[in-house]
Amino acid sequence: MNPSRTIPLWSHRAPGAHGTHLGLDMPTLKALLPQDHRSRSRAAMIICPGGGYWELMSDYEGLDYALWLNQLGIAAFVLTYRLACNGYHHPAITSDITRAIRFLRHHAGVWGIDPSRIGVMGSSAGGHLASYAATHFSAASPQAGDPVDRHSSRPDLAVLCYPLISLRICSVENLTGPAPSPELVRELSSELNVTSLTPPCFLWHTQDDLIVSVDHSLVFAEALRSNLVPFSLNIYPSGPHGLGLGVHGYDPDIPQNLHPWTGELRAWLQHQGFIGIEAGSVSPPITAAFANEIFSHRE
């Protein structure tokens, strides 16, 4: 099994946190790196599992994705973000993904990744969180007191798997809290916040998804088209919500029939320069100083 590390995104209490419990109050990244250093592309993907902002499907929409991306030479980081079941809503939840992007960019040299090739990937509600990152980002702030916040929070691409996109189509009180204002609904409806600066996006959905309507992907694709943002939209005729890779419990050592979207994504990522570049380079090892800084978190 690929070794992993769990990394807190703040060294002390996270902004807006009710406590300091790792994972519940303190968002984390679990790092999974390609085992063959020679095959690393130096690209990275932050993965946001789904779960309706109430729970996290971190196995088949987190770990499985990470192991598959590792086979493409991409470093994967599974995000554990704050949830409504623990008393969190926007903006605490959404700040976790923007922090994760800045955090990874700040430590890119240590991980041996390219800070200009950091993507976000999410499924269902995690797809909404990834789309939020792609439409609500800020530039680098060199004067910020926290060195992590001196980096841009804009992802370089977004992969959205049967994503929830629009709060105009369905309400998500786990994210907004009860009775959200029209202004908040607009702010959190990602299709209304696409601009020409939104990064390239890959979307896939099934036409008969009964949990998150395909309309979410369609309205986001139309917003991308209207703003001349490059995108790939893949609609499959049938399949239940929560398909993931098409298998639950992905094992890179066992041949498995993955859903066709994985082949489409692989080709798209290659076109975007996330795989097939610098395949022979060897990433530097994790330094002891960095390990002491972020792996030995104690509260």
What is the pLDDT confidence band of residue 289, given thresholds at 50, 70 and 90? very low
pLDDT for res 35: 84
The answer, yes or no, to whether residue 164 has pLDDT greater than 80, is yes
| Length in residues, the chain | 299
pLDDT score of 4? 55
Q: Residue 227 domain-assigned?
A: yes
pLDDT digits over 102-153, tens only? 999 999 998 899 999 999 999 999 999 999 999 999 998 888 889 999 999 9
Could you give the number of structural domains in the chain?
1
The residues near 9 (Cβ < 8 Å, ≥ 6 apart) are 26, 27, 28, 29, 96, 99, 100, 103
- Please state the rounded mean pLDDT for residues 76-92: 98
Within a domain: 7: no
| Res 160: pLDDT | 98
Residue 5 lies in a domain: no
Nearest Cα to Cα of residue 4 among 47, 50, 56? 47
User: What is the tens place of the pLDDT at every residue in 60-75?
Assistant: 999 999 999 999 999 9
Domain contains 42: yes
Report yes or no on 168 lying in a domain: yes
Give the DSSP letter string of 183-252.
HHHHHH-GGGS--TTSPPEEEEEETT-SSS-THHHHHHHHHHHHTT--EEEEEES---TT-TTSSSS--T
**Domain contains 6:** no
Nearest CA to 160 out of 125, 210, 121 is that of 121
Does residue 123 lie within any of the structural domains?
yes
CATH number at residue 146: 3.40.50.1820
Q: Pick the closest to residue 97 from 109, 110, 82, 116 (CA basis).
A: 82
Specify the pLDDT at position 122. Answer: 98
Q: Is the pTM of this model over 0.75?
A: yes
Domain presence at residue 100 = yes
Domain span holding position 67: 13-294
Distance CA(157)–CA(33), nearest Å, equals 19
